[in-house]
């Protein structure tokens, strides 16, 4: 019996996927539920498991865009498992001696005509976009005319080489990467995005971590990082300034009484933004556990579309890569994103004295269509206040109880 394997729907709004990698070869014997391919959607990279055991015949190539519901492979469920797990190879055809190729004749030099190096209208538009002069292109069309394909394949001059390796490589962007790029450009073009900045003295958080991180790890098996403090500070600020936790839908504003916090993480397939549901209800231990779970799933390529769907606000930690300051881009349709950065010892003024303290710059990018300056600045100040006095504001004056120690 031949089983047709079709592309399952990864999510409600996804109409097609791209075959990123085949994990098996044509003619291999596969076991039921064995991962046979990695497919890219515009939201995540997912594994495609075999629906039955048998010998597989691939019906799509790597890089092909395949509609949801289309057949991507056939599985012969009646085939017996061969030794080694690979189907016997087909008998090779006898090699036929190829006729000796004649020495190539010199191509006749084409006479220059009015069409030589004259681009077609479509080619002219492409060359103008690439800022390439038609005189730099050798046309392959009739009479030396520059065709659309010539313009598409044209590469801008990189200057006169002076020695050394100058190789180039052109690879197709994954569907996920293309969607991320599209969304980032959309956010810049379709929102009135502004960024406001502040600085946070991290001394109090450092003191708590230094005192309790070993005990916290021994009891909960988790590290006590910055993200739990920032998540708690953000959910508190979102409740104080609900406009930052809102979205625009046409001519209406949608406000939420819960805080689903999207956390930007870097995975092997690029940027992913899984969501912590109802983060306002999580304890410090709960936040650290959820972030660890989502980060591991993103790293292993096991994150699901559902885990990245939704989110009312985003936290992005560029500090792990050493970023000192940035202007994070809003994650549509959300209205705000908080950017964390690296912690550096800086000279600050405390009680009239210049002292050295660990300082982090924080940035809030927000959609000015729905969030005014008062709300944006007030939100960021509320985050700063909570981070500089976490014991009182975030832990109710009882650090051990808040950390469940």
Q: Could you list the active site residues?
A: 368, 372
Q: How far is CA 168 from CA 63, 165, 171, 181, 221, in A?
A: 20, 9, 10, 22, 46
Could you tell me which residues are beta bridge partners of residue 54?
30
Count the residues in the chain.
405
Residue at token pair 């000015």? 368
Q: Are 199 and 380 in contact (CB under 8 A)?
A: no
Q: How far is CA 284 from CA 14, 320, 405, in A?
A: 35, 20, 11
Phi then psi for residue 384, to 5 deg, are -60, -45
Q: What is the rounded CA–CA span in Å between residue 228 and residue 398? A: 16
Q: Are 12 and 68 in contact (CB under 8 A)?
A: no
Could you tell me which residues are beta bridge partners of residue 193?
367
Q: In 3-state terms, what secondary structure has residue 268?
A: coil
- Of 309, 253, 234, 318, residue with least CA distance to 277: 309
């Amino acid at each position: 019996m031949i089983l047709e394997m079709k592309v399952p729907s990864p999510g409600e709004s996804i109409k097609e996927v791209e075959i990123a990698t085949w994990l098996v070869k044509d003619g291999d014997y596969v076991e039921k539920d064995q991962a046979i391919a990695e497919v890219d959607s515009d939201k995540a990279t997912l594994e495609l498991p075999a629906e039955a055991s048998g010998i597989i015949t691939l019906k799509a190539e790597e890089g092909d865009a395949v509609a949801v519901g289309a057949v991507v492979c056939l599985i012969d469920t009646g085939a017996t498992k061969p030794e080694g797990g690979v189907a016997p190879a087909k008998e090779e055809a006898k090699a036929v001696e190829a006729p000796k190729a004649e020495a190539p004749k010199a191509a006749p030099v084409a006479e220059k005509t009015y069409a030589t190096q004259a681009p077609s209208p479509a080619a002219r538009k492409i060359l103008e976009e690439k800022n390439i002069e038609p005189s730099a292109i050798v046309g392959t069309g009739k009479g030396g005319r520059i065709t659309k394909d010539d313009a598409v394949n044209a590469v801008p001059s990189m200057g006169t080489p002076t020695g050394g390796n100058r190789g180039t490589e052109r690879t197709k962007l994954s569907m996920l990467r293309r969607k991320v790029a599209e969304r980032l450009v959309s956010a810049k073009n379709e929102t009135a995005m502004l960024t406001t900045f502040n600085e946070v003295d991290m001394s109090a958080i450092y003191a708590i971590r230094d005192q309790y991180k070993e005990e916290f790890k021994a009891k909960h098996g988790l590290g006590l990082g910055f993200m739990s403090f920032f998540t708690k500070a953000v959910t508190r600020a979102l409740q104080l300034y609900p406009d930052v936790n809102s979205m625009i839908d046409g001519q209406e504003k949608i406000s939420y009484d819960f805080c689903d916090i999207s956390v930007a993480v870097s995975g092997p397939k690029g940027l992913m933004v899984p969501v912590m549901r109802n983060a306002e209800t999580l304890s410090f231990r709960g936040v650290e556990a959820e972030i660890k779970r989502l980060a591991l799933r993103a790293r292993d390529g096991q994150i699901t579309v559902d885990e990245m769907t939704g989110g009312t606000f985003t936290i992005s930690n560029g500090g792990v890569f050493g970023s000192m300051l940035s202007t994070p881009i809003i994650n549509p349709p959300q209205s705000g994103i908080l950017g964390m950065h690296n912690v550096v010892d800086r000279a600050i003024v405390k009680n009239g004295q210049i002292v050295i303290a660990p300082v982090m710059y924080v940035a809030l990018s927000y959609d000015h269509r729905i969030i005014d300056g008062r709300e944006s600045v007030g939100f960021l100040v509320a985050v700063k206040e909570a981070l500089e006095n976490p014991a009182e504001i975030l832990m109710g004056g009882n650090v051990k109880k808040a950390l469940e120690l």
